[in-house]
Structure 1
Amino acid sequence: MLILSFFAQRVISSIEVNTIILSLFAFFLILINKGKFFKQDFELLFLPILLIVIGVFTAVFNKPDTYDLIRDLIYFSKPVILILTGYFVARSIVDWKTIFKTIIYLGVFYAVYHISHTIIFTDYSNLSVSSIRNTNGLSNIVIIFAIALLILSRRITYFKLFSKSKTNSLLFILSISFILYFSRTMFLGLLFLILGFLNYLKLNKKGLKYLTLLIIFFSSLYIYLFNANISRKGGTLETFLYKLKVAPSEIFSPKLNLKNHAQLWDHWRAYEAYCAIQGLNEKPSTYINGKGFGALVDLKFPAPLSKEGNIRYIPILHNGYVYILYKTGILGLLTYLYFLFFLYYQSYIKTKSIKVRTFRNLVSATAVYLIFSSLIIVGLYNPDEEIALFLGIFLYLKSNAIKKI
């Protein structure tokens, strides 16, 4: 059931079909588990549900197109469905080690497929980062969670899953695939997950030490990148370094020349967010509860974002914070931020049980990943990622471990 839930999320490309199948699957799991929720998890799940209520309530007054309304309802409901699926799948499995091993083996399966696909289908006559990624896939979050869990199992004896040699072999396979994705999001996501799993993301003496090292590392990296002559049309490595170089301005630089398509594409996330804020500025009262589900963001010109043709009005943004603000206003954004804070705070709750502490760290690290990914790939509301499944699994493992002690 665990493998099927992950496959359904990744393999079925239609978000409508995907959501219907996962909804039925979640309903089946809830039935066989008699809907038994731990109280604190039920209260937490109320927060993303509240976002749905705000979006629907606001939409009633704005009267959007029915199709656009239903599409947004699906986008905002899907994470809740995935959390429920992960939660009750984990509840159906007795041994937490079985869950971890399944995630790792699934990651290895994806890695082997990705490596094989890259070797066979890459156009070596036109080798570039974009061509490799467009042909073989942009990212795979299961792989970075599998790597982080393997590193956790190596560092903490209680969580040992495999022999040292087998762990190293699995890490090698996963790492090759990880490198071949050339994904900035995966790179930073893996960094946050490893530090979070090992409890290095708390704002204490140990956490501040690692935070300082991270700041020094990235400061040094960007000093080099901004002083080096790196071209967006260079070789494979140079193109990847260029993407790293423009990453900050891609999110936070709205002043663009619309006639310069290369510049616009390099800063597309920032431009989307800029257009959304401009839309809210047209009627400042919409900052309170947003424009509601079904509201579209006007890009000011038809952009080549689809194979079917150019699109001027888009339903979803890369920047998850602006996306939530646009649809549900400050009320929704504060609700989402509180949801993320509640998850992150789990690592601060003291316990003598190494099992409970580690499961809390898994939840907290997932929250840090969401805080980061919400800036660039919609965070919890990315329809293509399995992050909500992981969150549901870790929430159950944490609460069940607390109950047992």
Structure 2
Amino acid sequence: MKITIPNNWFHQFLFILCIAVPYLDNFESTISVWSLAFVLTIQQKYSVSLFKLIIPYALILLIAIVVSFYYDYQKYLVIRDITYLCKPMIGFFLGYQLCGRNFQNAFRLIVKTGVFIAVCHILVILNAIFIYGARTVADLRFFSGYFSDYEIYTFIILLFHKQFQLDYTKKTLRIVTLIVGFSAFTYLARTNFIQFVILFLALKEYLVISKKSLSIILSIIITSVIAYSIIVSTNPRRNADGLEGFLYKIKVAPMEPFKSKINREDYKDFNDNYRSYENIMTVRQVTRDGLIPTIFGKGIGSQIDLKQEVWLGDMNLRFISILHNGFMIVFLKSGLLGIFIYLFTIIYFFRKTKSDKPLVNSINLLFLGTGVFLFVSNWVFLGFYNLTETKSILIGFLIAYREKMNNQ
């Protein structure tokens, strides 16, 4: 078999590396690799469309920096917050730059990267089962990760391969779709399931308002309500293993991020609704300091006091500066003004770029689904601010690809 090395192998490697490194769950490694790749691929010209997405993130950061001058925060926390809030912007720039070096094989590279991530994930799962003896859903997720937005995007692109003009053989397509789909499913992440449904509906054009789309969405809502009612009626146990444990997480999901009153003394109530607890404490501690912090936030370096130590990641923390909710972290750092600006980063994806090219229209539909999904993602997983997310690179990549297609 003849092995050929593509001329742009280095930039393909950079793309795969930048997508893969956040899965190591080490923010310092991620920001270091992304920053180096950004410098290595920097270009002279960028589009207005890209800056329309990035400017709101820059304004949120600017407001937070200015506000922080009125507080005396630790320098470490200030520097850390700046890197956190810069991450989406670096990702967008990086994806945009890498597309220019990988335009001819763009979607094949996206799929190749997704397959690589999926294979690594499956190997980690096998290692967790046979080496560490993982037997429960919680154990598997602990060892192999809690979600993977990128694999869902890859899976959707494979399912709609004709719309994205992928010319794999039927056998190859079947194999890679099975690998990526299996890996994505085994995360058992509720948010990823929602992401898949939203993106699937978007590519089917069911998110474009019409009589047909409204009837389909209504049918999905009714089916979901019935399915949820059945799950509730089975009363899955809180500490159950396997499928029953997963069903319990679905049972508590609708109220988990929206509860307005939580008993800290009740371990069950506190843990099942921790995301809501973060939101409550954030709103309470920002607004209690008056109108100015409510409008402009408390700046870079600010933290929330949880009133007790909580096991987060790999350590016990009482004071946190990074939350689970994208809207709340923006509110903490830059107030209501920041949230108002932040909404433009979501509205961006609802703007359709006119084109007579089917592939561009498919990207538009993918962006439409992304915009809808961001409301969910920001509420429970920080959206593009999530420390382990990689979709900001993919979005920047697709923005550049769409522009190059339109300019041909």
Question: What's the TM-score, normalizing by structure 2?
Answer: 0.90
The residue number in structure 2 matching 1:26 is: 38
The residue number in structure 2 matching 1:61 is: 70
Q: Would you say the 8 A contact 2:327–2:382 is kept in 1?
A: yes
The residue number in structure 1 matching 2:399 is: 395
Q: Distance in 2 between matches of 1:60 and 1:242?
A: 45
Which of 170, 177, 183 is equivalent to 1:171? 177
Which of 205, 219, 235 is equivalent to 1:213? 219
Please report how far the alpha carbon of residue 306 of structure 1 lies from its aligned counterpart in structure 2 after TM superposition. Answer: 5.2
The residue number in structure 2 matching 1:287 is: 294
Q: How many residues align?
A: 393
Q: Would you say the 8 A contact 1:280–1:290 is kept in 2?
A: yes
Distance change in 2, residues 1:194/1:338 (3 Å) = same
The residue number in structure 1 matching 2:160 is: 152
Question: What is the percent sequence identity of the aligned residues?
Answer: 27
The residue number in structure 1 matching 2:190 is: 184
Q: Deviations over 1:326-374 (max 9, x none)?
A: 111111111111121122232xx54432122122223222222322210
Q: Distance in 1 between matches of 2:295 and 2:18?
A: 36
Q: Would you say the 8 A contact 1:287–1:329 is kept in 2?
A: yes
The residue number in structure 2 matching 1:298 is: 305
Which of 136, 139, 149 is equivalent to 1:131? 139
Q: Deviations over 1:124-170 (max 9, x none)?
A: 9762211111122222222111101001114x3x6233123322222
Q: Distance in 2 between matches of 1:161 and 1:197?
A: 18
Which of 9, 18, 25 is equivalent to 1:5? 18
Q: Deviations over 1:206-251 (max 9, x none)?
A: 4323321321222112111222221122230010011011111110
Which of 364, 370, 376 is equivalent to 1:372? 376
Please report how far the alpha carbon of residue 297 of structure 1 lies from its aligned counterpart in structure 2 after TM superposition. Answer: 0.7
Q: Would you say the 8 A contact 2:296–2:334 is kept in 1?
A: yes
Distance change in 2, residues 1:54/1:194 (3 Å) = same
Please report how far the alpha carbon of residue 271 of structure 1 lies from its aligned counterpart in structure 2 after TM superposition. Answer: 0.5
The residue number in structure 2 matching 1:142 is: 150
Distance change in 2, residues 1:379/1:204 (3 Å) = same
Q: Distance in 2 between matches of 1:258 and 1:245?
A: 21
Please report how far the alpha carbon of residue 393 of structure 1 lies from its aligned counterpart in structure 2 after TM superposition. Answer: 0.8
Distance change in 2, residues 1:206/1:8 (3 Å) = same
Q: Would you say the 8 A contact 1:321–1:378 is kept in 2?
A: yes
Which of 332, 342, 350 is equivalent to 2:348? 342
Unaligned runs of 5+ in 2: 1-10
Q: Would you say the 8 A contact 1:101–1:161 is kept in 2?
A: no
Q: Would you say the 8 A contact 2:21–2:29 is kept in 1?
A: no
Q: Distance in 2 between matches of 1:127 and 1:10?
A: 22
Moved more, 332-341 or 221-230: 221-230
Please list, as runs of the form range in 1=range in 2, the aligned pairs for 1:173-322 lying within 5 A after superposition.
173-285=179-291, 286-305=293-312, 307-308=314-315, 310-322=316-328
Moved more, 377-386 or 126-135: 126-135
Match of 2:317, SS state, is strand
Please report how far the alpha carbon of residue 270 of structure 1 lies from its aligned counterpart in structure 2 after TM superposition. Answer: 0.5
Asked if residue 49 in structure 1 is aligned to residue 69 in structure 2, the reply is: no
Distance change in 2, residues 1:145/1:387 (3 Å) = same
Q: Distance in 2 between matches of 1:102 and 1:126?
A: 33
Match of 1:295, SS state, is coil
RMSD of Structure 2 on Structure 1 (CA)? 2.0
Q: Deviations over 1:142-201 (max 9, x none)?
A: 2111101001114x3x62331233222222122222222111121111222222234322
Q: Would you say the 8 A contact 1:9–1:386 is kept in 2?
A: yes
Please list, as runs of the form range in 1=range in 2, the aligned pairs for 1:347-358 lying within 5 A after superposition.
349-358=353-362
Please report how far the alpha carbon of residue 314 of structure 1 lies from its aligned counterpart in structure 2 after TM superposition. Answer: 0.5
Asked if residue 117 in structure 1 is aligned to residue 118 in structure 2, the reply is: no
AA paired with 2:121? Answer: H
Q: Would you say the 8 A contact 1:359–1:397 is kept in 2?
A: no
Distance change in 2, residues 1:207/1:36 (3 Å) = farther
Match of 1:58, SS state, is helix
AA paired with 1:52? Answer: L
Please list, as runs of the form range in 1=range in 2, the aligned pairs for 1:77-96 lying within 5 A after superposition.
77-95=86-104
Moved more, 382-391 or 209-218: 209-218
AA paired with 1:22? Answer: W
The residue number in structure 2 matching 1:99 is: 106
Q: Would you say the 8 A contact 1:254–1:267 is kept in 2?
A: no
AA paired with 2:123? Answer: S
The residue number in structure 2 matching 1:331 is: 337
Match of 1:230, SS state, is coil
Match of 2:331, SS state, is helix
Match of 2:82, SS state, is helix
Q: Would you say the 8 A contact 1:108–1:174 is kept in 2?
A: yes
Distance change in 2, residues 1:253/1:150 (3 Å) = same
Q: Distance in 2 between matches of 1:20 and 1:126?
A: 32
Unaligned runs of 5+ in 1: none
Q: Distance in 1 between matches of 2:359 and 2:114?
A: 23
